[in-house]
Amino acid sequence: MTTPMRIGVVGVGKIAEQYFAQIPKLSNLSLVAVSDVDSVRARGVAQEQGVEQLSVDDLLADERIDAVLNLTIPAAHVEVGLRAIAADKHVFAEKPLGLDITEATQLLQAADAAGLRVGSAPDTVLGTGVQTARNLLDDGTIGTPVGAAAHWSSPGHESWHPSPQFYYQPGGGPLFDMGPYYLTTLITMFGPVTSVAGSVSTSGRSRSIGTGPLQGTPLDVSIDTHISAILFHESGVSSTVTMSFDVWQSRAPLIEIYGTTGTISVADPNSFSDPTEVWTAERPEWTVAPVSGGYADAGRGVGLADMARAIETGRPHRASGRLAFHVLETMEAVLIAGRERRVVALTSTTGRPDSVPAGSRPDRW
């Protein structure tokens, strides 16, 4: 390891708290400055983190900063990313990569032309939970995979988030907000998606903010709130996906992989180190699988550290813009398929990211 990658954060909302908790633990990352449209909030965060508060313009122009961690709302992901690339800085952004593949294409093309890297959440797939499940699958523990099912649901984020308006605008909703965790996991397991079928709907129930200073404020809904899809993977496996803001409670498993000789219950893809369980014909009971891969004790920011190390060593980074683009196109195709009641073919593809060996760290050799 030479010098740490120097980071400037744009957007210090709720998700930023998880990044700030992890970055000090990663020796190849160094936080330099933060910025937010809410200057008061940014000032408070800067004081907490012991770094500078800068305007967005000044942060992007600051030559001390190597990479921008973009934690803005989805509608600003590409705009801020393009400005960062124009300022000769690498970019790692929260999901989704963009609102649609048209603007996301501009981001990746600009980065390629500038010789810069684009990374994107979710990086939870680099933790021990999903990586252990991948190893079980690749080792043939459940025989030949035949299918998978993924389910995430809630009554809506307004029950806990003090400012949830953006979840109900384009770029939000259950598919664009939570879907990347599940789709990235499925693509990590089975490879790229070639086509999708889907069904989408929007419930008519009224929604309002349930907590914080805006409690009781009505929410305008301009996204689909219940989505079901079938993903057809290049490997021949098909996976079913349900994402919903209309389910008050469910006992459906988060992700299960079905094989000819058993089943894998994959760890929560919104976490890094939850256990993965396995059931096989030879051992017909649920058993917690021993950790066999993944970055241990990981948290949000590990994908950025992995990218920093990949830049230093000249290898592809795992939580890549290309993978996030394929996830974005998959989600966009699901919505088209659901609204038009047809199967939609994808135009992009991506490789399975390299697995993460057990015991490795993203910030050390």
Which domain CATH number covers 237? 3.30.360.10
Average pLDDT of the chain to the nearest whole number: 96
158 and 107: one domain?
no
116 and 130: one domain?
no
Q: Which of 265, 288, 311 is the last residue of a domain?
A: 288
85 and 140: one domain?
no
Which CA distances in Å does 67 have to 60, 70, 73, 266, 305?
A: 9, 9, 18, 32, 11
Residue 145 located in a structural domain: yes
135 and 284: one domain?
yes
Pinpoint the alpha helices (H) of the chain.
16-22, 39-49, 56-61, 77-86, 101-114, 128-138, 173-190, 302-313, 321-340
Q: Which of 247, 267, 288 is the last residue of a domain?
A: 288
Range of the domain at 130: 124-288
* Residue-level pLDDT at 1: 47
3-class secondary-structure state, position 241: strand
Cα 205 from Cα 287, distance rounded (Å): 41
57 and 139: one domain?
no
130 and 240: one domain?
yes
pLDDT band at 94 (very low <50, low <70, confident <90, very high): very high
* Residue-level pLDDT at 142: 98
- pLDDT single digits (tens) 101-155: 999 999 999 999 999 999 999 999 999 999 999 999 999 999 999 999 999 999 9
Angle at alpha carbon of residue 90, lines to 87 and 96, rounded to 5°: 110
Cα 116 from Cα 34, distance rounded (Å): 21
pLDDT at 296 over 80: yes
Q: Among residues of the chain, what percentage have pLDDT more than 90?
A: 96
If we measure between CA atoms, which residue out of 113, 59, 90 comes closest to residue 303? 90
58 and 21: one domain?
yes
β-pair type (277-280, 90-93): unpaired
pLDDT band at 191 (very low <50, low <70, confident <90, very high): very high
What is the DSSP code (8-state) at residue 355? P
46 and 107: one domain?
yes
What CATH code is carried by the domain that includes residue 25?
A: 3.40.50.720
N-terminal to C-terminal alpha carbon distance within the chain: 7
pLDDT at 364 over 90: no
Do the beta carbons of residue 188 and residue 239 sit within 8 Å?
Answer: no
Q: 3-state SS of the chain: helix, strand, coil percent to 5?
A: 35, 25, 45
Tell me which of 364 and 139 has the higher pLDDT.
Answer: 139
Tell me which of 233 and 365 has the higher pLDDT.
Answer: 233
Which tokens sit at 58?
A: 């000044």
* Residue-level pLDDT at 144: 98
pLDDT at 158 over 90: yes
pLDDT at 343 over 80: yes
Torsion of CA 172, 356, 364, 45, to 10 degrees: 20
90 and 29: one domain?
yes
Cα 264 from Cα 354, distance rounded (Å): 20
Residue 326 located in a structural domain: no
Residue 321 located in a structural domain: no
Cα 6 from Cα 29, distance rounded (Å): 6
pLDDT at 270 over 90: yes
151 and 252: one domain?
yes
Residue 340 located in a structural domain: no
Residue 193 located in a structural domain: yes
- pLDDT single digits (tens) 66-80: 999 999 999 999 999
111 and 149: one domain?
no
List strands edge to edge, sheet with 262-265.
287-288, 277-280, 262-265, 255-259, 145-153, 238-244, 226-233, 193-201, 344-345
pLDDT at 216 over 60: yes
Q: What is the arithmetic mean of pLDDT over 254-264?
A: 98
How many domains does the chain contain in total?
Answer: 2
Residue 98 located in a structural domain: yes
List strands edge to edge, sheet with 5-10.
52-53, 29-35, 5-10, 67-70, 90-93, 118-120
Q: Which of 272, 288, 304 is the last residue of a domain?
A: 288
β-pair type (262-265, 255-259): antiparallel
Residue 325 located in a structural domain: no
109 and 139: one domain?
no
pLDDT band at 365 (very low <50, low <70, confident <90, very high): low
Torsion of CA 311, 315, 321, 326, to 10 degrees: 180
Cα 247 from Cα 203, distance rounded (Å): 11
- pLDDT single digits (tens) 19-66: 999 999 999 999 999 999 999 999 999 999 999 999 999 999 999 999
Do the beta carbons of residue 95 and residue 295 sit within 8 Å?
Answer: no
Cα 186 from Cα 255, distance rounded (Å): 9
pLDDT at 355 over 70: yes
Residue 225 located in a structural domain: yes
